[in-house]
Structure formats: structure tokens, C-alpha cells
Structure 1
Amino acid sequence: MGTWISTWPSGPGDAALPALLCLPPAGAGCQQFRAWTPALAGIGQVHGVQLPGRENRWREPMPETFDEAVEAIADELRPIVGTGRRLVIFGHSFGGLLGYEIARRVRPDALVVSACRAPGHWDGAGRGIVDDDEELDKLFDTAGLDPVYLDEDTRALMVAMLRKDAVLSLSYTHSHGAPLSVPVHAWRADGDETVTERDVADWAAVTTAGFRVHRVEGGHHAVLRRPEALLEHLAALLRNDTTVPAGAV
């Protein structure tokens, strides 16, 4: 298997900066986070998690289970973080669930999730995408992608990636172990029809170190499409600035 973590240096001394680990949503690759590097230059080093079956790993087979993927990512992350290096984990949608389980194995300084339901709400969540073409079309609508305007090869590739990630999510079962001892921040867009207020509020139960909800306007992927407020928040966490960012409730 190839490397699970991509790194995009922005200048000398990056390896001594705090680390930001970014996990993309289902059906997507991590190269989108490369664009965040200039905004965080001198503040933190950006790393992206790349699952098999996409971008530079498109020929590689998916892991058998969700836990297998999490263990592989955690194993590769430990030497990157090293001893005492600050770590912030960010995950969007399905990436948030992966980020949470990684945080249970490699303790970060903060966990940030967006458009992501709490772990106890994930059981069976991908079944519709695996079995139902109508459900897949709804997901394309959520992403702002009308399948009618996608060429056949592009649509087939996206469908394959989405279904692979959905199958992986179906192997996930939330085990109620010790809660995290790090703060959790959850971002939610007011127009997100796939993640409810309750889905987000229940993240409070996974940590003993504080929980905050941050709100933006838009749909399920609004935070990634207009990441300026999120990047400001992530920069503050990387700097260990305890000031509550604007927009937190």
C-alpha cells in the first residue's frame, strides 16, 4: 500500500511547526487541502489523508474495514507528529468520522469536524449510497453536481469512489470507550439537509475538554467551498490561541 498522508511544504522549518491533518469527505481526495498551505504558512504544516482508490492512489484496493484504515493512518501519523509537536485534526463529513477515530489513537490538541454527524449516528449511514441510485443522485445534488452535466467517465469514477467509501463506512460501529480529553469543534451550515442539529449537538458527548458549534450559511459542503472562517479558526488552534473565534455558539 502507498502512503496514506500527503504533505505540502510551504517553507523551511515546516517540520517544526504544528501539524494540521485534513481528511476529505467521501468520494474525494486530499489534494484540495493543498490550497490551504499559503493561508497557514509559518503557522502550521498541512497534511492530507489520502484513501486508496483516488488521485495518486487510484489503482490501490480499499482496506477491508474502517478500523484497518484508521490504524494505518494513525501508524503513519505518529512519526510525523513526533514528541511534543502540536497536532490539530480536521475532517469534513465522512472525514470527520475518520478524524475522530484517529484522535482516539493519536491524541491531538484539538479535533475539528464539519458537516459531520456525531459517531453514534453513523451506523448504517452509507447503505443508501451503496444500494440506491436515487440516493446517489441526491448526494450529487448536495455536492452541487448535476449528474446530467458530468461526462460518463467522470460520473462513473465519482460513483465508484463514493460507493467504496460508503462500503467502508458500513463496517463502522461506534464503541463507547473513554471520551476524548481534547476540545472538539463542530462546524455546521444552516442549509445542510443531511446533518441535523441533533447530529452535531451529540458531539458534546465524545469529549470532557469542551465542545463548541460554529455556524455558516450554505449547504453540506459550504465550509469547504468558502473556508476563510474555518482557516482563521484552524490557525488560532495551531497557534494555541484560546480566544473563542467569532461565530462560535
Structure 2
Amino acid sequence: MGTWISTWPSGPDEGDLPALLCLPPAGAGCQQFRAWTPALAEVAQVYGVQLPGRENRWREPMPETFDEAVEAIAAELRPIVAAGRRLVVFGHSFGGLLGYEVARRVTPAALVVSACRAPGHWDGAGRGIVDDDEELDKLFDTAGLDPAFLDEDTRSLMVAMLRKDAQLSLSYTHSPGDLLHVPVHAWGADGDETVTAQELAGWAAITTAGFHVHRVTGGHHAVLRRPETVLEHLAGLLREDVAAPARTA
């Protein structure tokens, strides 16, 4: 679709379907969301946000600030909204923070965040990843990756991407300003040692249109590793069936 937003056509009429915008966690690219396309083919066109420095944009420099990235994403997204298509924004971890700021600019039908602390809790988040190798090793462990089993080039590339995204997050300052007027759905995992229940609950303060918490079992990336339940929920939101319940996995 553009430089910042990728898509994977699912059929001849995808341009008439609602849109699901997916934002990946720090250090990751958006190709992982391509696997969601078959499950949602009848209800939505899936789009992924691709930050520079990874996958097909690995040679490109990162933006100077968090706001610069958000504005670039929003600019490519506005034609979808202008066409009158229903839009749901989904972001995981750092992607949830990006998704929130994008939602402030384009007003989707719903914002869904997973494993993501509320904006007011992001002050200084990521500093340890930038400065401390021990914190990086903990993050690899959280993702289920043992650094000892990664070859040097792969680990170096992953470290570089994580540190770039962490540095970008340090440029973020939450300005409460106007509240969102769209429902917010926050997904958390009972075994997540990175985002606390209190940090997840903080999302209630940023919207006037309803806040819902959904719980699964597992660690920080549980929603991405077993996405069936969240995909069912997203399909309901995309069909405007906002009351569709989410099962606890």
C-alpha cells in the first residue's frame, strides 16, 4: 500500500472490506501478521505497519522521534478512513502505544492493544534495553529465545532492531489532551512479567467510549503465539458485533 503500511491481498474485493491495521512489538516486522489474512479473509483486509530498519525496510534509517513515525503512519492510513471503510487498530506491546497515537489522529471504530502498558505508564520504558545487556537478555527470554542458540549475525540484527525501537520509545511523552471516543479493548496475559494488571487497567483513562479487559494465560507474547481467541474478537469488532465475547484461553 505504501512505505509504512503493507498489505496482503486476500481476494478481488478486499478494497471494499473493513480494514484491520496491525502494529508489531519492538524489534519485529509486520510480516508475522500475514498469517492472519486467511482467518479474516471474509471480514477484513489486513494491513501491517512496517517501521524502518527491518524486513523490506532494513536499510532505511529510523525516524528521529516517536511523533514522526506516528504522523507517517497516519498519513498513509487516512485514505482508508476517508473512503468510509470501518477501521480497527490492533497493536502488541510497543505496537499498542503506536496504535494509540495513530488512533488519536484517524479515529478508528475500535482500538485493541495487547501486552501493552497504558500511555501514562510509558515514561522511561525501554531505557534498560538501550543501556543494559542484562535487560536485553531478559527480553530474549520473555520472547522465548535463548541467545545462546542464536548465531551472532541474527542476534546482532535483533539487538539492533530492539534498541532502535527502545530509543524511539524514549522520545515519547504522553500528552493526555483529548480523550479517545472509541472503545478500547486491552488484552493481557496472566503470566506477563513485563506489563502489570495495573498498567493494563490504565487504558480505561484514555477513552470515553467503553473499556474492556480480556485475559489469556501465558507470557508477554501469549496473544501472538496463540492468536485464535483474539482473531475471533477482532472479527466481531470488524463486523460491528462489538459485543462479541472473548473467551479466556
For residues 135-156 of structure 1, the C-alpha deviation after alignment (integer angstroms, 9 at most, x for no partner) is: 0000000000010000000000
Aligned to 1:37, the other structure's residue is in SS state helix
Alignment of structure 1 residues 139-218 onto 2, 5 Å = 139-218=139-218
TM-score (norm 2): 0.98
Residue 176 (structure 1) shift: 1.1
Aligned to 1:48, the other structure's residue is in SS state strand
State how far apart, in whole Å, the 1-side matches of 2:126 and 2:244 are. Answer: 34
State how far apart, in whole Å, the 1-side matches of 2:202 and 2:210 are. Answer: 13
Aligned Cα RMSD in Å? 0.9
Match of 2:95 in 1: 95
Aligned to 2:11, the other structure's residue is in SS state coil
Aligned to 2:198, the other structure's residue is in SS state helix
Q: Is the 8 A contact 1:19 1:81 kept in 2?
A: no
Match of 1:225 in 2: 225
Q: Does 1:134 align with 2:134?
A: yes
State how far apart, in whole Å, the 2-side matches of 1:134 and 1:34 are. Answer: 32
Count matched residues: 247
For residues 39-81 of structure 1, the C-alpha deviation after alignment (integer angstroms, 9 at most, x for no partner) is: 0012000000000000000000000000000000000111133
TM-score (norm 1): 0.98
Match of 1:116 in 2: 116
Stretches of structure 2 that go unaligned for 5 or more consecutive residues are none
Q: Is the 8 A contact 2:81 2:106 kept in 1?
A: no
Q: Does 1:243 align with 2:247?
A: no
State how far apart, in whole Å, the 2-side matches of 1:246 and 1:79 are. Answer: 30
- In the TM superposition, structure 1's runs of 4+ consecutive aligned residues that sit over 6 Å from their partners are none
Match of 1:40 in 2: 40
Residue 83 (structure 1) shift: 3.0
Stretches of structure 1 that go unaligned for 5 or more consecutive residues are none
Aligned to 2:246, the other structure's residue is in SS state coil
For residues 98-157 of structure 1, the C-alpha deviation after alignment (integer angstroms, 9 at most, x for no partner) is: 000000000000000000000000011010000000000000000000100000000000
- The amino acid that maps onto 1:176 is P
Residue 244 (structure 1) shift: 3.6
Identity %: 83
For residues 160-212 of structure 1, the C-alpha deviation after alignment (integer angstroms, 9 at most, x for no partner) is: 00000000000000001111000000000100000000000010000000000
